[in-house]
């Protein structure tokens, strides 16, 4: 009897240690599940003919791209749009712009200067500028800033069709948005590349309760124009409890206050050395009692019971379907 007690005493600490060595705590929450992404919204609408029929607007010869693909953006300090091409003999060429320059700020005519962060803001400015007018820009070239004046001429043919980006947020709202097409953006008063169309929503997304639906075009979030779908994601990440959202549905502008959710918290594991332990993850629950005399494992597809360490039985789904009446 004494020997058995000694053996048990020696065995207990290792058992306790084994139970105490839990896996490292996750730093980030897992992605939200149950995202609904209708297939009909997967591809962008075929509206090329309508796009070519849009007013052409002004032209300066500066083709700009996103400056967010940069270390500055990763540090949250990005500003400006990057000149990616300069048309020969254009106003931008005459003003001395070269690829790689950043356009930080622009002012059309007598209007106040606006900071530039997304290409759609520059393209809206250029499109709306009247031929014969000028746009004053602040240029950043390798950290040195200077001003330049671009004379606007009439655009003679449509610009190329922009690329569509799909961005996913699965931490607080559970939403997938894509870039609006130029036709959709124009109808909402945004520049080409602006606007974000909801193409995916989590089943339990708080935005459903706010009345937002698949296909809605988001044009303003918390007072900021959606000049790029990233603006929506940035607002969601930075928001506290809720966001003011302005959207367009069937050509009608509407507003709503959309909540941002906090994660549900659940007890994942309980551990009492030697007596009881319970560990739960999304698809598995394991319960053990009295040094493992009783142990139960449960998943959505199967269960397993173990009693007195040696008796074990399991149950679960089979590989056959049940007969369906009718």
Partner 1 sequence: MTAALGLLPGLLPSLLLGTGAGTGAPPAEPRVSFVQVDPALGCVGDAVLADVDGDGGRDLVLATGECDDAEGPPPVRRLRVHLRRAGTPAFAARPDRQLDLVADVVAWAVADVQPAPGSELVLLSASRAVAVWWEADADEPRYAALCPTRLLWQPADRDRAFAWQAGVRDVDGDGLDDLLLPEPDGYRVALQRRGPDGVSFESTVLRPPPAPLEEEERTAARFAARGDELRPSFVPDRGQLRFLVEVHDRVPAPRLVDWDGDGDLDLVALSGRRLLVWLQDGGAFDAGAPRVLELPDRRARLLNPSYSVQLADLDGDDRADVLLASSRTDGDDVTSTLEVYLQAAGDGFLERAADKLRLQGFVDLPELADVDGDGRPDLAVGSLRPDLIGQLASGGSSTVDMQLSVFRGLFEPGEGRFQRPVALAHKLRLPGDFGGEGWDVVYSFFRDVDGDGRRDLLLRTEADRVVVRSTDERGRGLQVGDVLWELAVAEDARAALVEHPDGPALLVREETQIVHVEFP
Residues forming contacts to partner 1 in the complex (CB under 8 A) are: 24-28, 69-75, 77, 100, 142-143
DSSP per-residue letters across 38-88: -GGGTSPP--HHHHHTS---EE-SEEEE-S-SSHHHHTT---SEEEEEE-T
- Residue closer to partner 1 (CB basis): 38 or 281: 281
Kindly state the smallest distance separating residue 72's Cβ from partner 1, in Å. Answer: 7
Q: How far is CA 314 from CA 76, 182, 223, 277, 302, in A?
A: 53, 58, 57, 20, 7
- Residue closer to partner 1 (CB basis): 141 or 304: 141
- Residue closer to partner 1 (CB basis): 100 or 132: 100
Q: Do 33 and 264 touch, CB atoms closer than 8 A?
A: no
- Residue closer to partner 1 (CB basis): 142 or 267: 142
What CA–CA distance (Å, rounded) separates 209 from 73? 33
Expressed in percent and rounded to 5, the helix, strand and coil fractions of the chain are 20, 35, 45
Kindly state the smallest distance separating residue 70's Cβ from partner 1, in Å. Answer: 4
DSSP per-residue letters across 165-200: -EEEE-SSS-EEEEEPPHHHHHHTT--TT--EEEEE
- Residue closer to partner 1 (CB basis): 12 or 74: 74
Kindly state the smallest distance separating residue 119's Cβ from partner 1, in Å. Answer: 14
Kindly state the smallest distance separating residue 23's Cβ from partner 1, in Å. Answer: 9
DSSP designation for 210: T
Kindly state the smallest distance separating residue 74's Cβ from partner 1, in Å. Answer: 5
- Residue closer to partner 1 (CB basis): 5 or 25: 25
Q: How many residues appear in the chain?
A: 326
Kindly state the smallest distance separating residue 173's Cβ from partner 1, in Å. Answer: 18
């Amino acid at each position: 009897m004494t020997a058995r007690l000694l053996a048990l005493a020696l065995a207990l600490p290792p058992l306790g240690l084994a139970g105490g060595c839990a896996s490292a705590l996750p730093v980030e929450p897992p992605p939200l599940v149950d995202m609904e992404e209708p297939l009909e919204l997967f591809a962008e609408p075929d509206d090329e003919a309508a796009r070519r029929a849009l007013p052409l607007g002004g032209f300066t010869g500066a083709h700009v791209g996103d400056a967010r693909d940069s270390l500055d953006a990763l540090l949250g300090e990005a500003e400006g749009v990057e000149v990616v091409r300069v048309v020969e003999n254009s106003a931008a060429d005459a003003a001395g712009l070269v690829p790689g320059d950043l356009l930080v700020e622009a002012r059309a005519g007598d209007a106040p200067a606006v900071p530039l962060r997304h290409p759609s803001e520059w393209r809206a400015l250029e499109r709306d500028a009247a031929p014969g007018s000028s746009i004053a820009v602040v240029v950043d070239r390798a950290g040195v800033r200077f001003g330049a004046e671009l004379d606007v001429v009439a655009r003679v043919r449509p610009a190329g069709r922009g690329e569509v980006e799909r961005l996913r947020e699965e931490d607080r709202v559970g939403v997938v948005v894509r870039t609006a097409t130029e036709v959709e953006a124009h109808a909402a008063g945004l520049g080409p590349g602006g606007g974000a169309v909801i193409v995916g929503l989590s089943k339990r997304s708080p935005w459903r309760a706010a009345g937002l639906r698949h296909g809605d075009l988001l044009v303003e979030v918390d007072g900021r124009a959606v000049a790029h779908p990233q603006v929506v994601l940035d607002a969601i990440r930075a928001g506290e409890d809720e966001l003011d959202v302005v959207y367009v549905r069937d050509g009608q502008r509407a507003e709503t206050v959309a909540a941002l959710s906090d994660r549900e918290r659940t007890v994942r594991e309980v551990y009492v050395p030697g007596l009881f332990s319970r560990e739960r993850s999304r698809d598995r629950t394991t319960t053990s009692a009295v040094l493992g005399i009783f142990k139960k494992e449960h998943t959505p597809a199967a269960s397993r019971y173990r009693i007195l360490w040696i008796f074990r039985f399991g149950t679960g789904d089979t590989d056959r379907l049940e007969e369906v009446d009718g």
